[in-house]
Amino acid sequence: MKYKHIIFHLIPILSLTLLISVTTVIFVNAQPVILLDEYGEPVPTRHNNEIIPKKVMYFNDTLSNTYNGTLIDESIEESYVSRPIPVVDTNYSLPTDEIVIPNGTVLDKSKTLLANVTSFLDCKACYKKFVLINATLLNNSDSNSASFLEGVTNTSMYQNTTIPIVLTNEGSIPIVNSSDGTPVNMTEIPNPLKENSYDISADKIEFSSLNSTYKSLVAEPSIAKKNNTLIFINNYYLARSLDNGDTWSLLDMRNDPDIDICCDNRIIYDKDHDIFVWYAQGTENETQNNNVNRLGVSKDGLYWIMYYFDQQDIWPSRTSFVFDFPHLVAGNKYLYLFTSVVQKKTDNIHQIVIRIPLDQLSKCDPRSINTVDLKECKFSYDYYLSKKKFNFTPIYNVDDSLYWATFLTNNFMRIYQWDENSTSIGDIQIYNRAIPTFSVLTKNNTVCDPQKEGFETNWCLRTDSRILTGWKHDNQLGFFWNADSKERNVYGDKFQFPYIDGVTFKIENDTLKKIGRPYIYNNGTPFLYPAVSVNSNGEIGLLAYYGEDVLKPSIIFGTSKNISTNMPWDIQVIKKSTDIPRTDVEDKDILAWGDFITLQSVGDSWYGTAVVVEGGNTSEFVQPYYIQIKK
């Protein structure tokens, strides 16, 4: 592998070797089968190759007073491959094993059919798909039919109605809309939104020395907290506070051209192992069509052990792949890194989950690295590589099991479960579940205000409908994403603005049952970019953006004590943008807002970060905030 040499003023480079190999498993008939990959290469179920750290980085607090940053051209704002979700009226390639229920089938009369379908639903790790084409449920009083339908969708509102469920390429399938009667616990947010009534503080993250051109409308802020020590990071710089956000020192990641960090940084703190973990996505090398990525580990946010890798380390025989749009979560035993793997020449997209033992990752203290051989800081890992094209999104409060999800279509979701006590990726469980249909957002086509067409005032333009966040509490599991305004709500009324859609499941008897649709909608303004976290009381906290006067992206926070019921979310304003973000250039790619914000919990409270624009409408007026919500 070819390393880029990164020079810091105080620490020499330590050149070490990184070895990684590839793993892919296809699940058939509930059993893992080891196959060749799509390129005809053997794929093992598990490997024990190791990552050895490349260097130690010292966060020099004086850098905030000495750097001379290079101006950032707006034209180099992050770009990514749009990942369209298949919609229900498009052809969808069916797997070979499927159950098809044709038109007019009376479900509670066909005992044999019901037995077959029930057996299918119990298969948690199959690529089988259930296909129901306009099957009419004449009477759901029959216990067998009711039991069967529980695995597909709630039947309480479906008496004497047609149930169009997708996943077929045979004939014309009607578009399913959100007025299908699915029980929900949605919140129609009233106008005007309430001002703060929680104990909420929103403190500016700022530095007198920060060049304004290092700011971006695509801020993608992330934050981690250990007592009063905070590490904040966005696309262009990392900052550290030792006094719970009162003052900050800056590390400018673009000061040294060899740092080569692009965007999509993520940072977390794992209390059980007392480490900060920072994932830094590298800038694409346009010659090699790849990017070098970094994983940093620190005890104090000042000294970091840095591990370097790129997609050729993961997939050594393949070239021209770029990692993009990561998630970083910690369980009791493992760190999980999620990222898309994009083949630049073809825009072919894979998804990968890398699992790293936290005991190994935390065994070295970078503060005493002079007395420790870096080779002793290596860790082994395994991973799951999928040919699924749309992104994987995990829950952010992992305990003994990790769950993540992706869309198959805009009314069908696939959920994965990887138990922490498993010794192989062959233990991953897969659940396919129908969800209420939503209208898909696509990059450069989303409109905040249908009455105003100009893209230069449209902060919603960049968003799409990838799943953005997920959570688990007790036996409840849920996910949120952005959705377009073209569908209808449960009352049959059309959504007027983009909104936050969601789904919840109940984990019961080793299966998942859909129990709700907690969408968040307002009839006068858009809601987008959710981040959720569960506190120690089991309350769901939500951080998101809404449009103040429609076109000014502003920060809201809300809670729900029981998301499985019809209890509404208590949504309140935290910070408002003073202006409508815009640019003067004629390029939709760089008129941008997003792509994510972050929220985490400590005990019964929450903390997070998001941005607004204050005092102007371009990127130089972007202001990040450290947000605390106390009970």
Strand ranges in 536-617 using DSSP code E only, listed in sequence order: 540-548, 552-560, 570-575, 598-602, 605-613
- Residues 486, 495: contact at Cβ < 8 Å? yes
Rounded to whole angstroms, how far apart are CA atoms 346 and 270?
37
* 104 assigned to some structural domain: yes
Residue 134: which domain range? 98-168
What per-residue confidence (pLDDT) applies to 500?
92
- Identity of the residue numbered 423: T
What per-residue confidence (pLDDT) applies to 254?
56
- Identity of the residue numbered 268: I
- Residues 3, 15: contact at Cβ < 8 Å? yes
The residue-averaged pLDDT of 146-162 equals 33
276 pLDDT band, cuts 50/70/90, is: very high
| 13-27, 200-214, 576-590, 598-612: range with highest mean pLDDT | 598-612
What per-residue confidence (pLDDT) applies to 112?
39
* 329 assigned to some structural domain: no
Among 70-84, 136-150, 372-386, the minimum mean pLDDT is found in: 70-84
* 440 assigned to some structural domain: no
What per-residue confidence (pLDDT) applies to 11?
26
Rounded to whole angstroms, how far apart are CA atoms 393 and 406?
7
Give the pLDDT confidence of 611-625 residue by residue, as tens digits: 999 998 888 888 999
| 263-277, 302-316, 378-392: range with highest mean pLDDT | 263-277
Q: How far is CA 6 from the centre of its chain?
A: 29
Number of continuous H segments (helices) and E segments (strands) in the chain: 4, 39
- 623 burial level (CB within 10 Å; 0-12, 13-18, 19+): middle
The model carries a pTM of 0.73
Give the pLDDT confidence of 164-176 residue by residue, as tens digits: 222 222 222 222 3
- Residues 490, 182: contact at Cβ < 8 Å? yes
| Residues linked to residue 39 through DSSP beta bridges, in sequence order | none
Q: Structurally, how many domains does the chain consist of?
A: 1
- 46 burial level (CB within 10 Å; 0-12, 13-18, 19+): middle
* 65 assigned to some structural domain: no
What per-residue confidence (pLDDT) applies to 490?
54
Among 294-303, 368-377, 413-422, the minimum mean pLDDT is found in: 368-377
* 108 assigned to some structural domain: yes
What per-residue confidence (pLDDT) applies to 624?
92
What per-residue confidence (pLDDT) applies to 327?
93
Give the pLDDT confidence of 299-355 residue by residue, as tens digits: 988 888 888 776 666 666 666 777 778 999 999 999 999 988 877 666 677 888 889
What per-residue confidence (pLDDT) applies to 64?
29
* 120 assigned to some structural domain: yes
Can you list the alpha helix ranges (DSSP code H) found in 86-202? 111-121, 143-150
* 158 assigned to some structural domain: yes
118 pLDDT band, cuts 50/70/90, is: very low
What per-residue confidence (pLDDT) applies to 375?
75
- Identity of the residue numbered 322: V
* 132 assigned to some structural domain: yes
